[in-house]
Amino acid sequence: MVRNRATLKDVARRAGVSYQTVSKLLNRQIRLSEETERRIWKAIEELGYTPHYNARSLRAQRSFTIGYSWPPSPPDETNPILDQFLQSMFVAAEARGYFLLMFPYHYQVDKQLAAYAELIDAGRVDGFILSSVEYNDPRIRYLQDRKFPFVAFGRSNPDWRFPCIDVDGGRGLYDVTQHLITLGHRRIAVLAWPEESRVGNNRLEGYLTALSEVGIPVDHALILRGEGRLDFGYHATHHLLSLPLPQRPTAVVALNDYMAIGAMQAAQERGLRVGEDLAISGFDDIPLARYLTPPLTSIRQPIWEIGQQVIQHLIDIIETGVPPEPRCLLVPPTLIVRASTAPNAKASALSNSPSAKEVVNR
Amino acid sequence: MVRNRATLKDVARRAGVSYQTVSKLLNRQIRLSEETERRIWKAIEELGYTPHYNARSLRAQRSFTIGYSWPPSPPDETNPILDQFLQSMFVAAEARGYFLLMFPYHYQVDKQLAAYAELIDAGRVDGFILSSVEYNDPRIRYLQDRKFPFVAFGRSNPDWRFPCIDVDGGRGLYDVTQHLITLGHRRIAVLAWPEESRVGNNRLEGYLTALSEVGIPVDHALILRGEGRLDFGYHATHHLLSLPLPQRPTAVVALNDYMAIGAMQAAQERGLRVGEDLAISGFDDIPLARYLTPPLTSIRQPIWEIGQQVIQHLIDIIETGVPPEPRCLLVPPTLIVRASTAPNAKASALSNSPSAKEVVNR
């Protein structure tokens, strides 16, 4: 259980060697007989000796610490993946003797880079995890210039090469669009993000691919872009539902669940039955998605796995100096079909009971 | 902007003094003329010299790091306050030159304490923030035994004295119960937590006080305890609504929003209009509360302020060795009245528009 802290002297005494011998062994400055070395390691283990972090760290020229910073969620939303992502990362880090250091996210580029520079210069971290990565992300440029280890959760410019892991959001949108086409939908609207959103464009591509594969022409009146907030989904859907009947969509795919919830409210205000008169899907599979009326079809990201992998990759880079291959890993998300798109899933989901059966594709 | 790292030698060269002089000044081992000292500080500033963290840290015998660990949210819920609490804490910490170190939460007591012990023994942190504090919390005992600085977000045993900041959850429940009594309700049910929940009991007290103040006898059939999950709220409310009419409640106050959402679903399944036939309130004011149909009356915790204060108090303790007075600070939450309890708030809230007016008491 909890131990009082043992010192180097205690270890030396128990192993029957001098203080200097133990110290030199731990600093790899000496070769000892196999027998002596074994005795020292045994004493270290039995006493539960932990080298003082600062001393260990000065020796190793490492801090055994990983820096992470992320943009705060807007005041009226909750970041649906944050807790799981953090927990997954620091569980993975602990298993390899590392900890995560958090620091504030600055939107101003020079302040942002200064925060990274300070942590590097002060020797406080051995590497960084980046998320919310965008096109021309200045953090990637800066860390590559300084040759400082990092792994990104997310891609950036297509021609940039850096270690990253990302959810294949395009695959998710492809899957849900194909699902709607299979159900007979031809006029499928999409609630997308602004054109400068890298994540938004990756997702949108999947929608476009699914349409073109079956020869449905793209109708730009059905692609609405805005901030990924509930109120945008609400107003955009009111707009879509006031289009002349031949142009009006029969399905709306949203790039996140908040927009989908806004879309559901707009549809319900107009007296439409979601899932029957208008199909609606989201992305993220927030905990409430399954409890909505009707339960919301959504796309789930494998966040736990991603948290584990970004840390494993980063520590590998820190400890070996070699970037992982493939440099960038794309992980497929999972389509969760519920009654908001699939009337046939309705019977099992309509009860709103938490055990409502889910149809999981892939 | 971003600088290349300046060394002590660069500082010495620019200030026209020896390396040793700068080093001794920074270690407070020397007194120099005002003029020389000013020249050195000017050089440090102009070069943007950052003493290497490990060196600074060994000198100061401090790590300038605060440890924090919290229990992960259940898989089908999102921790509604986590992001804001973390952001607030590391913004406050950065302002005073500290960072936050995250580590996994272990449910097994000896593993849990071992994690705290290791961080202390390795000299990696100067103090801890605790949250999810319960009765007889072993972390508090352990840290007090070791005389190691910490501040808790939350109270524990009434007779334990330790630095803490807590939301006055009892006050929140008192306010919402009184609000319902004012509206004419006499049979008010409460969806509570298990008896061993310290937070749950603090909140429940407020409900009991509000009833006793106006002489409404407590009906134990209306106090239901369970895990604070949506499905418990759902099943408990079905149970309450199947009581014989004279025993049936006209209002349900839940100790969190997830249980309140489950309660709303049960009421709606029975054809009741929430807010008119049955009043329902929650606690936490999760982002979706205002978007529910009808919008949910809830209680908002001042999380940003609490994050700032726990860090300020902890750093004060670390740097001065003196615990703050008052030892424990209680911060009142805010009652947000919406249509799920107040039919008169309905007109403005029924539109579901994100700008729905909120009636804010206190």
Q: How far apart are CA A250 and CA A271, in angstroms?
A: 14
Percent of the residues in chain A that have a pLDDT greater than 70, as a whole number: 88
Task: Flag if B265 and A352 touch (Cβ within 8 Å).
Answer: yes
What is the rounded distance in angstroms from the CA atom of residue A361 to the CA atom of residue A88?
A: 24
What letter would DSSP give residue B297?
B
**Long-range pairs of B60-65 with CB within 8 A, sequence gap ≥ 24:** B62/B126, B62/B318, B63/A53, B63/A54, B63/B123, B63/B124, B63/B125, B63/B126, B64/B97, B64/B98, B64/B99, B64/B126, B65/A101, B65/B98, B65/B99, B65/B100, B65/B101, B65/B124, B65/B125, B65/B126
- Which backbone phi and psi does B247 adopt, to 5 degrees? -95, -15
How close does chain A come to B90, measured CA to CA in Å? 6
**Does the distance separating the beta carbons of B2 and A113 come in below 8 Å?**
yes
Which range (A50-59, A169-178, A304-313, B75-84) has the least confidence? A50-59
CA B306 to centroid of chain Cα atoms: 6
A3 domain-assigned: no
Tell me, yes or no, whether A161 lies in a domain: yes
Q: How would you list the strands of the sheet with B65-68, edge to edge?
A: A328-331, A164-167, A150-153, A127-130, A65-68, A99-102, B99-102, B65-68, B127-130, B150-153, B164-167, B328-331
Distance from the Cα of A250 to chain B's closest Cα (Å) equals 23
Nearest to B78 among A72, A83, A86 (CB): A83
Q: Are A25 and A63 in contact (CB under 8 A)?
A: no
Q: A223 at the B interface (CB within 8 A)?
A: no
A44 or A50, which is more confident?
A: A44
| CA gap B50, B186 in Å, rounded | 65
| Position A5 pLDDT exceeds 90 | no
Q: Is B360 exposed, middle or buried (0-12, 13-18, 19+ CB in 10 A)?
A: exposed
Q: Do residues B249 and B209 share a domain?
A: yes
Q: What token pair was written down for B196?
A: 């061993």
Distance from CA of A215 to the nearest CA of B (A): 37
Nearest to B280 by CA among B300, B301, B259: B259
A139 and A241 co-located in one domain: no
Rg (CA), chain A: 26
Same-domain check for residues A322 and A214: no
The label of the residue with tokens 């600062």 reads A54
Q: Which domain holds residue B36?
A: 8-51
Structure tokens at B9: 């030698």
Let me know if residue B229 belongs to a domain.
yes
d(CA A296, CA A339): 6
CB-based contact A56 B121, cutoff 8 Å: no
The helix-helix angle for B303-320 and B82-95 (nearest 10°) equals: 40
Does the pLDDT at position A197 exceed 60? yes
DSSP per-residue codes, A281-332:
E-SS--GGGGGSSSPPBEEE--HHHHHHHHHHHHHHHHHH----SSSEEEE-
Q: How many domains does chain A have?
A: 3
Q: Are residues B21 and B119 in the same domain?
A: no
CA B286 – CA B292 distance, rounded (Å): 11
Residue (of B140, B197, B352, B181) closest to B281 by Cα position: B181
Q: Are residues B347 and B328 located together in one domain of the fold?
A: no
Q: Give residue A179's pLDDT.
A: 97
Looking at the DSSP bridge assignments, the partners of residue A128 are: A67, A150
Calpha distance A287→A290 (Å, rounded):
7
* Cβ proximity of A362 and A168 under 8 Å: no
* Shortest CA distance from B101: residue in chain A: A101
Beta strand pairing call for A279-281 and A251-254: parallel
Percent of residues, chain B, with pLDDT higher than 90: 66
CB A309 within 8 A of CB A330: no
Task: State residue A29 phi and psi, 5-degree precision.
Answer: -105, 10
Per residue in B317-327, pLDDT (tens digit) is 999 888 888 88
CB contact under 8 A, A114 and B261: no
Per residue in A274-299, pLDDT (tens digit) is 999 999 999 999 888 988 889 999 99
Q: Which of residues 128-167 of A touch B (CB under 8 A)?
A: 142
A47-51, A129-133, B10-14 — which is least confidently predicted? A47-51
Query: Is residue A289 one of the residues assigned to a domain?
Result: yes
| Rounded-to-integer distance, Cα B183 and Cα B146, Å | 52
Which residue in chain A is spatially nearest to B92 when comparing CA positions? A104
Residue of B nearest to A70 (CA): B87
Q: Is A242 exposed, middle or buried (0-12, 13-18, 19+ CB in 10 A)?
A: exposed
Q: Which residues of chain B have a pLDDT value below 70?
A: 1-5, 26-30, 49-61, 344-362
- Across B213-333, where does the E strand assignment appear? 223-225, 251-254, 279-281, 298-300, 328-331
Are A292 and A356 in contact by the 8 Å Cβ rule? The answer is: no
CA atoms lying within 13 Å on the CB side of residue A249: 29
Residue A89 burial by Cβ neighbours in a 10 Å radius (0-12, 13-18, 19+): buried
Q: Does B86 touch chain A (CB under 8 A)?
A: yes
Q: Which residues contact A271 (CB under 8 A, 6 or more apart)?
A: none
Tokens 């660990």 correspond to B69
pLDDT at A37: 80
Q: How many CA atoms lie within 13 A of A238 on its CB side?
A: 12
Above pLDDT 90, what percent of chain A?
66
| Strand ranges in chain B using DSSP code E only, listed in sequence order | 65-68, 99-102, 127-130, 150-153, 164-167, 188-192, 223-225, 251-254, 279-281, 298-300, 328-331, 334-337, 359-361
For chain A, give the mean pLDDT: 87
- Residue identified by tokens 């007290």 is B205
- The whole-number pLDDT of residue A92 equals 96
Decide: A6 and A25 in contact? Cβ < 8 Å: no
3-state secondary structure B46-66: HHCCCCCHHHHHHHHCCCCEE
Sign of CA dihedral A80, A161, A205, A343: negative
Mean pLDDT lowest for which of A75-79, A140-144, A293-297, B3-7? B3-7
Q: Given this model, what pLDDT does residue B122 score?
A: 86
Residue A244 lies in a domain: yes
Chain B neighbours among A 253-272 (CB < 8 Å)?
261-262, 265, 268-269
Inside any domain, residue B58: no
Q: Answer for the pair A50, B118: CB distance below 8 angstroms, yes or no.
A: yes
Q: Is A218 on the interface with B (CB under 8 A)?
A: no
Phi (first) and psi of residue A189, to 5 degrees: -85, 160
CATH code assigned at A51: 1.10.260.40
Average pLDDT on A74-98 reads 89
**One-letter identity of residue B286:** I
pLDDT at A347: 34
ipTM over 0.85: no
Q: Which of B18, B10, B92, B105 is nearest to B50 (CA)?
A: B10
Inter-residue contact B286 to B80 (CB < 8 Å): yes
The answer, yes or no, to whether residue A6 has pLDDT greater than 80, is: no
Q: Do B219 and B344 belong to one domain?
A: yes
A276 vs A89, A324, A343, CA distance in Å? 41, 47, 6
Pairing label, strands B359-361, B188-192: unpaired
CB contact under 8 A, A291 and B50: no
Predicted local distance difference test score (pLDDT) of residue B306 = 96
Token pair for residue B187? 């049979």
- For residues B231 and B255, membership in a common domain is answered with yes
Same domain, yes or no: B45 and B157: no
CATH code of residue A74: 3.40.50.2300
As a dihedral over the C-alpha atoms of residue B13, residue B14, residue B17, residue B23, rounded to 10 degrees, the angle is: -80
Q: Given an 8 Å threshold on Cβ–Cβ distance, is B54 in contact with A50? A: no
Residues A32 and A105 grouped into a single domain: no
* Position A237 in a domain: yes
Q: Token digits for B85?
A: 């609490």
Find the radius of gyration of the CA atoms of chain B.
26
What are the residues whose beta carbons fall under 8 Å from the beta carbon of A215, sequence distance 6 or more?
A: none
Higher-confidence residue of B25 and A193: namely A193
Is the same domain home to B188 and B276? yes
What does the pLDDT read at residue B4?
A: 54
Q: Is the same domain home to A52 and A199?
A: no
User: CA-CA distance, B140 to A242, in Å (whole number)?
Assistant: 60
Mark which residues 325-354 of B lie under 8 Å from A by CB. Answer: 352-354
Q: Which of A17, A32, A60 is the last residue of a domain?
A: A60
Q: Would you say residue A46 lies in a domain?
A: yes
A228-245 confidence digits (pLDDT tens): 899 999 999 999 999 999
Same-domain check for residues A27 and A162: no
B-chain residues near A236 (CB < 8 A): none
d(CA A308, CA B150): 29
Q: Which residue of B has its CA nearest to A355?
A: B231
